[in-house]
Chain A
Amino acid sequence: MGASQSARTEHEFQDLADRTGFSLEQIGNLNKRFRQLSKNEQTLSRQDLASISALDNNPLRAQIINAFFDKRNLRQNEVGTVQVIGFEEFLMVMSHFRPAAMHITEEEREKLRREKLRFVFNMHDTDSDGTITLEEYRRAVEELLSKAGTIGQETAKAIADAAMLEVASTTRGKMEPDEFYEGITFENFLQILKTLDIETRMHVRFLNMDTATMRCGK
């Protein structure tokens, strides 16, 4: 597995680089990390990710882990979840967090925005029906405030309701009392988060440094 593996991986990496947009070095680093997480297996399972201790304090832990196994994030236009993912899928998910290049056209910027917001949307839309319903949104906000104690739980609902109202009013305008707003569609989602500059904020620095050195400059 050793020698042939390395020859194959070079070629693979190049292929992956072309498809995901990472540089070869970044892919190399991510591969190392992948192997570390998966304990040198070929695939990564939920337990592997769940075993990362640093994630324990994160209120969005479960959702983040699920996002890796969500088929919608793997650019395969399918729905559902998988049990294990390979390195390629890992990269696919990670590629959502690449920073924007310096000089990109408006079109590309818009595309990038959609992609990133789609990722976040998928995280909220747990039943994969294309809309974020009130229940789903409530759950999302509750998770976000889950570390906040009892106060958080009660107010989380109120916050989610208020947010939903806001979306409804900005996207649908005036509604009759008997009309029903089913949920936030992706287009609505784009609209309300227009001012958030997500293409610049949603990125992680996959520096050209060895992840093992664990230091990220600013």
Chain B
Amino acid sequence: MSVRLALHSPSGSRSFLERGLLLLVMLIFLEGTVLTLGAASSPDIGAQDNTGGGHDHRGIAGSHDHTNYTYIKKAFPVLSLDYHHIQVPFEISLWVLLASLMKLGFHLIPRLSSIVPESCLLIVVGLLVGGLIKLAGEEVPPVLDSNLFFLCLLPPIILDAGYFLPIRPFMENIGTILMFAVVGTLWNAFFVGGLLYAVCQIEGTYLSQVELLPCLLFGSIISAVDPVAVLAVFEEIHINELLHILVFGESLLNDAVTVVLYHLFEEYSGAGEVTPMDVVLGVICFLIVSLGGIAVGAIYGILAAFTSRFTSHTRVIEPLFVFVYSYMAYLSAEMFHLSGIMALIACGAVMRPYVEANISHKSHTTVKYFLKMWSSVSETLIFIFLGVATVAGPHAWNWTFVSVTVILCLVSRVIGVVGLTFIINKFRIVKLTTKDQFIVAYGGLRGAIAFSLGYLLDKDLFPMRTMFLTAIITEIFFTVFVQGMTIKPLVDLLAVKKKQEAKRSINEEIHTQFLDHLLTGIEDICGHYGHHHWKDKLNRFNKKYIKKCLIAGERYKEPQLIAFYHKMEFKQAIELVESGGGVKLPSAVPSQVSMQNIQPKKLPPPVAERALPQFTKGREEEIRKILRSNLQKTRQRLRSYNRHTLVADPFEDGWNDFVLKKQRLIELEKKMTEMSNYLTVPGAIPDSPTMCRARLASDPNAFYNIKASSDGIPTIQVDLASPQSPDSVNMLNEFSKEGATGQGLGQREGADRDEDQGLMMKLAGKGEKGEEEGGSKNPGLMRCLSDPGPSNEDEEDEPFLP
């Protein structure tokens, strides 16, 4: 939702003009698109002409086949139009382009996009396009073809959801989610189907030909909460994590139930009755479908993780493995009529911790960006197609049926949620309040999956198919428009807890880990194998066996807390750079407190004064220039699971190098402590800038002042690396009284050793030696540390297993 338009400019009048122009362009484009698409869908008249002509030609030729066949020379065609050659890809691209332009367009009108959720706007656009096509007299193309939907449009969205699924809240609430998904959907299906049948039997509705099984089938189609719609709407309301994961998890896991019910009722609609045996088979089928889907996904996930272990020499194709394995998992599951959605989720969730440890940072970024991009485009297309399909029809409107459907869906959802919560709360620690229940019930949106399933129905077997489709579309429209639009003000009205935007502090992280171990210990003392015990066992098993197999190198040993800490440090560094390197003292926490405040002053200060490195003005200017030209701006992102803003990751570039450098620093530091109390190194390398960037940017004098008192201040590490500059070196400022590692912060350019040429690496070797020798000579708090080149990439984003 926060796609930034390149056109946005500060001056009001200019932006208005630009906006107007863009709107105009889009409208024209829309017209053009509509006509082309409409024309494209109509039968190939041109082709027929050609073939007719060709036929004639051949006929003529045939009659002369004993003689030389006459060749009628005509003018050489300089420019010819051959639409059919490129027809299909062209249309696809046109649709995708339309969808993307729509997305851009909505943000031109910010007020609109804050009132109306994007999904509604997109459906309206779809309606418009469909309407325009119809007006142009062409036949509306059957765009929401079930094959297209299930094989092309749905997988990216689900993969995106599965890959970035927040595992910890998901697993903590898995019982609740399963209850809602399985029992809730079953309840909905039977309630709606049954009551609809009863209503149909009432005299005067002219619906008595609708039998029980088709009704139940309809019920099962319409009762499933749709992940696409839920994602689209919930992304914008920023609700608290628990509710989000409940509704979203339910929408993902109810796929298995829907698949089984759908196939069951479809199979037996012809027979007209369902025996208890069939029910038993249905239950078994459900188990197979869901567990099988998960198993298939897990297998592919492990394969992907294993493959990624060996990709250290071919980084460029790493993202491809992620995508292809996942897609194959989906297709394999669909091949056996297992739950493709669950397979995809399982695949993404299983492979993620291992793949992320193995792939380079750039690949990780690529994977993230591609997933978000595809899922975004897919979602947009789905909604537009929904609109077009609505216009396309055919429709069979029946007031009773449709209105009863809508009402029943709402009623059954509410009853289902309330009833289930009553049971679930007996087992939960964090109970679901009434407000929560309301949001869960209200957030049960239906979407395109229901439509596609309805579309798949056989016309002959189900004569009332069109009526079903109309009802489904109405229900979808109702939920998406009415519920989607009103859920945001309702959330505000009811003061439902919103998502915590607060950054996770390191204390919290430490204590989360601490609590985990503490509770495991207490459980062991109590003697029963509780929740924590199994989680701990799984973690240990994972660490001991699985990680060794699936993660390359030594990275698997790194615990979660350390990963978190590094991440935080890096984030701080980026923030500092972002802020322009103000005078503020850098530290691992944005604080006005520095290390000296918390260090116990028990060490004797051996040297009160220290000579500061002398820099000439000229050198200073040089250094400043280098720093300014080399530092790359990184964009700061909010940490959230929002699809429209990418998952926050300010440490995209050079993360691995930074961390490795840090480790090197630690080793070096050990050597240095023998030499002096202060880690001191002169600017041994002639061209190396040795100043703290923060101070440099502001005031050269400040550097000296601060220096005098900064015994234990964590100072910034500035890291310059750029393929262009030959002076790029990495440097690190360190301090220590007792040799403790300082709160260094690093800011680095992306210089992955594989992708870039890594000029910076070359200078490193000399640097290290230089500083060791010159250690005792020039006391100062600055040290220049050059990185001899990472031998081990180290990266961590999310904890492996939360």
Which residues does chain B contribute within 8 Å of A158, judged by CB atoms?
A: 565, 588, 740-743
A-B contact pairs, 23 of them (CB 8 A): A37-B527, A58-B520, A144-B514, A151-B562, A155-B666, A155-B741, A157-B741, A159-B562, A161-B595, A162-B588, A164-B598, A165-B587, A165-B598, A167-B507, A168-B598, A169-B592, A177-B597, A193-B507, A200-B430, A201-B515, A203-B519, A204-B530, A213-B528
| CB <8 Å contact, B523 and A204 | yes
A144 to B513, CA, bound (A): 8
| CB <8 Å contact, B598 and A202 | no
Interface string of A197-218 (1 = CB under 8 A from B): 0101111111101011111111
* B502 contacts A by Cβ under 8 Å: yes
Closest 7 CB pairs of A and B: A169-B591, A174-B592, A54-B524, A162-B588, A216-B530, A64-B521, A168-B593
| A181 CB to nearest chain B CB (Å) | 5
A161 to B558, CA, bound (A): 19
Interface string of B662-680 (1 = CB under 8 A from A): 0100100000000000000
* B16 contacts A by Cβ under 8 Å: no
| CB <8 Å contact, A180 and B601 | yes
| A27 CB to nearest chain B CB (Å) | 12
A202 to B514, CA, bound (A): 11
| B530 CB to nearest chain A CB (Å) | 4
Which residues does chain A contribute within 8 Å of B709, judged by CB atoms?
A: 177
A5 to B526, CA, bound (A): 23
* B397 contacts A by Cβ under 8 Å: no
A54 to B533, CA, bound (A): 9
Which residues does chain B contribute within 8 Å of A126, judged by CB atoms?
A: none
Q: Please indicate which of the listed interface residues B425, B561, B593, B741 has the most CB atoms of chain A within 10 Å of its own CB.
A: B593
| CB <8 Å contact, A165 and B588 | yes
* B69 contacts A by Cβ under 8 Å: no
* A105 contacts B by Cβ under 8 Å: no
A157 to B588, CA, bound (A): 13
Give the dominant DSSP class at B's interface: helix
| CB <8 Å contact, A207 and B743 | no
Counting contact residues on chain B (CB < 8 A from A), the size range is 35 or more
* B198 contacts A by Cβ under 8 Å: no
Stretch at the interface among A69-77, A81-89, A94-102, A106-114: A94-102
> Of the candidates B508, B517, B663, which one forms a contact with A196 in the assembled complex, judged by CB atoms under 8 Å apart?
B508
Which residues does chain B contribute within 8 Å of A61, judged by CB atoms?
A: 521
* B525 contacts A by Cβ under 8 Å: yes
Which residues does chain B contribute within 8 Å of A165, judged by CB atoms?
A: 587-589, 591, 593-595, 598, 743
A135 to B522, CA, bound (A): 26
| CB <8 Å contact, A94 and B588 | no
A95 to B558, CA, bound (A): 34
| CB <8 Å contact, B522 and A211 | no
Which residues does chain A contribute within 8 Å of B592, judged by CB atoms?
A: 169, 173-175
Which residues does chain B contribute within 8 Å of A168, judged by CB atoms?
A: 591, 593, 597-598
Which residues does chain B contribute within 8 Å of A49, judged by CB atoms?
A: 525
User: A: which residues have CB within 8 A of B?
Assistant: 30, 33, 36-37, 49, 52, 54-55, 57-61, 64, 68, 94, 97, 99-100, 102, 120, 123, 133-135, 140-141, 144-145, 147-149, 151-152, 154-155, 157-159, 161-170, 172-175, 177, 179-181, 192-193, 195-196, 198, 200-207, 209, 211-218
Which residues does chain B contribute within 8 Å of A33, judged by CB atoms?
A: 525-527
Q: Please indicate which of the listed interface residues A33, A145, A166, A181 has the most CB atoms of chain B within 10 Å of its own CB.
A: A166
| A60 CB to nearest chain B CB (Å) | 5
A190 to B598, CA, bound (A): 19
Q: Please indicate which of the listed interface residues B506, B511, B663 has the most CB atoms of chain A within 10 Å of its own CB.
A: B511
| CB <8 Å contact, B597 and A58 | no
| CB <8 Å contact, B517 and A55 | no
| CB <8 Å contact, B528 and A216 | yes
* B500 contacts A by Cβ under 8 Å: yes
Q: A58-B517, A177-B709 are in contact. Are A148 and B559 (CB under 8 A)?
A: yes
A215 to B427, CA, bound (A): 15
Which residues does chain B contribute within 8 Å of A58, judged by CB atoms?
A: 517, 520-521, 524, 536
| CB <8 Å contact, B526 and A94 | yes
A72 to B507, CA, bound (A): 23
| B179 CB to nearest chain A CB (Å) | 11
Which residues does chain A contribute within 8 Å of B520, judged by CB atoms?
A: 58
Residue of B nearest to A135 (CB): B600
A94 to B526, CA, bound (A): 9
Which residues does chain B contribute within 8 Å of A214, judged by CB atoms?
A: 527-529
Which residues does chain B contribute within 8 Å of A141, judged by CB atoms?
A: 510, 561
> Of the candidates A167, A173, A195, A209, which one forms a contact with B502 in the assembled complex, judged by CB atoms under 8 Å apart?
A195
| A183 CB to nearest chain B CB (Å) | 8
| CB <8 Å contact, A163 and B506 | yes
| B596 CB to nearest chain A CB (Å) | 6
Residue of B nearest to A133 (CB): B600
Question: With A159-B562, A168-B597 given, can you name 14 additional A-B contacts, CB distance below 8 Å?
Answer: A64-B525, A100-B429, A145-B561, A159-B561, A159-B565, A161-B743, A162-B588, A162-B743, A175-B593, A180-B601, A192-B505, A204-B523, A216-B533, A217-B427
A140 to B517, CA, bound (A): 12
Interface string of B566-586 (1 = CB under 8 A from A): 101100000000000000000
| CB <8 Å contact, A218 and B175 | yes
* B599 contacts A by Cβ under 8 Å: yes
* B518 contacts A by Cβ under 8 Å: yes
| A157 CB to nearest chain B CB (Å) | 5
* B766 contacts A by Cβ under 8 Å: no
| A198 CB to nearest chain B CB (Å) | 8
Which residues does chain B contribute within 8 Å of A97, judged by CB atoms?
A: 519, 522
Tell me the residues in window 611-632 of chain B with beta carbons closer than 8 Å to chain A beta carbons. none
